[in-house]
Amino acid sequence: MYPAHITPSKIIHKFIAKLSDINLRELLKSGFVSFVFKISGILASYLLMLLITRKYGAHTAGIFTLFITFLNICTVLGRLGIETTLLRFIAEYSSQNKNALIADIYVKALKIIIPVSVFISILLYFLSPYIARNLFNKTYLSAYFQIVSFMILPMVIIFINSESLRALKKIKEYAFLQDLAIPLFSVFLLVIFLFFSRGKYMPFAAYAVSISMVFFLSVFLWLKKLNVTRVLPEAGMKYTTLFTISLPILISNSLCLFMGWTDKILLGAFKTESDVGIYNVAFRLSMLASIPLFAFNSIAAPKFAQFYGNGDIASLAKLARQVTKLIFWVTTPILIMFFVFPSFFLKIFGEEFGAGKNALIMMTAGQMVNIMSGPVAYILNMTGKQKIFRNIMFLVAIINITLNVWLIPKYGISGTAFTNMVSVMLLNILLFIAVRYYYKFSTFSITNVFNIKRGA
């Protein structure tokens, strides 16, 4: 029963009162949509990996992981950090109904990223034999890296279009393109391909074709949602300003991706593809805990930019605390399951994947700190503190690389997982401190998360 002073009626009224906050309502409504797409995308990704591991084994799963690794690295370099700049400024321009400026900055972004992405593609294609032979000592990987080279530009455009849609608060379109479309199409295509052939390139062909399909879909959705009839010939942001804002973000994103994928590259260089496959499954499982973080950040990020542009730091702080609280309570059950039953979840992919038990536990601990810190990275990037974020990322990346080089040869998968845990914890603690220092509020606090009234 309820205490005398707390009745169901009071609880309901309190909940409705909270929903009178328009930003919280939007966060919950759009956050739920993003969460569903994120969950669906994760499930599709695991289903794709499950198909690969069951049909081809850990060896091919490891090669597929390296394939995705190089695609992500090249895509980040090709984007130049411009997608985050578009997210920030399109959100601001949209709130001010400056549609011509939206088109102007988007076109300028394309004029920059297309030639850069093509250059990276050509470079990777011709360097693939050298990378496979000298970095991995496995010449057969060259063909897989060359397939990657054809996928770079389409992936870059997908990111640019999806982030631009996100800035316009087209969350359904953004979430589908960013989280669900590619793994979902890949699963369907791979199932179809397997009816005709079980050749070793089938998973990679399915993924490449799905990227091409999503590329055309992203172009269609962006042109459909862009409400502008002309682009101003000499207006809006200058190219130099675009570069000045984007380059620190590029460095931060590159360091973040580098830190996130260096473990797999070095594990593949020092150990076997099977080790990479096992570690990657454990890594992907641990990342399930961060789904709510990504989902609610999808909605919160453009609003952070709007609040900052209007000088409303109080509303920014309030929204950040609301996001953190939601993330904490939604994620806690997932974290508990991975801590208590790590082997059960790993062996779904096959008995050999049970070797990643300790790795899953360590990386789940890292994700605990990640979700408790809340949207700190987005707060810095959306409020003009992208250089601060870059500097923190640089420090953590150096520590990450040092630990990986030291621990992987000795401890293999466990050494990689320990490095991941330390890096994620350190990164989020430093970002949390930076937000506290510059904006005088904390995203996470016991009083906020557990509804404890001060002085009670």
pLDDT digits (tens, 9 = 90+) for 227-254: 654 545 445 677 777 777 777 777 776 6
- Region of 237 please: left (phi>0), alpha (psi -120 to 50) or beta: beta
What are the CB-based long-range contacts (under 8 Å, 24+) for 395-400? 395/430, 396/255, 396/259, 396/423, 396/426, 396/427, 396/430, 397/255, 397/256, 397/258, 397/259, 399/423, 399/426, 400/259, 400/262, 400/263
Neighbour tally for 6: CB within 10 Å: 11
Cβ-based neighbours of 17, under 8 Å, separated by 6 or more: none
Tokens at 440, concatenated? 């005088």
φ, ψ of residue 179 in degrees (nearest 5): -110, -35
Res. 274: pLDDT tops 80: no
12 pLDDT above the threshold of 80: no
Q: Which two tokens stand for residue 375?
A: 């949207």
Mean pLDDT calculated for residue range 73-101: 81
Looking up tokens 């801590």 gives 339
Instruction: Give the pLDDT of residue 8.
Output: 43
DSSP 343-377: HHHHGGG-GGGGGGHHHHHHHHHHHHHHHHH-SHH
Q: What is the mean pLDDT of residues 136-152?
A: 86
Higher pLDDT, 383 or 362: 362
Token pair in block for residue 318 = 């309030």
State the alpha helices, DSSP H only, in 136-272.
Answer: 142-149, 152-167, 171-175, 181-196, 202-225, 239-270
Residue-averaged pLDDT of the chain: 80
Looking at residue 257, its pLDDT comes to: 67
Measured between alpha carbons, how far is 66 from 124 in angstroms, rounded to an integer?
Answer: 14
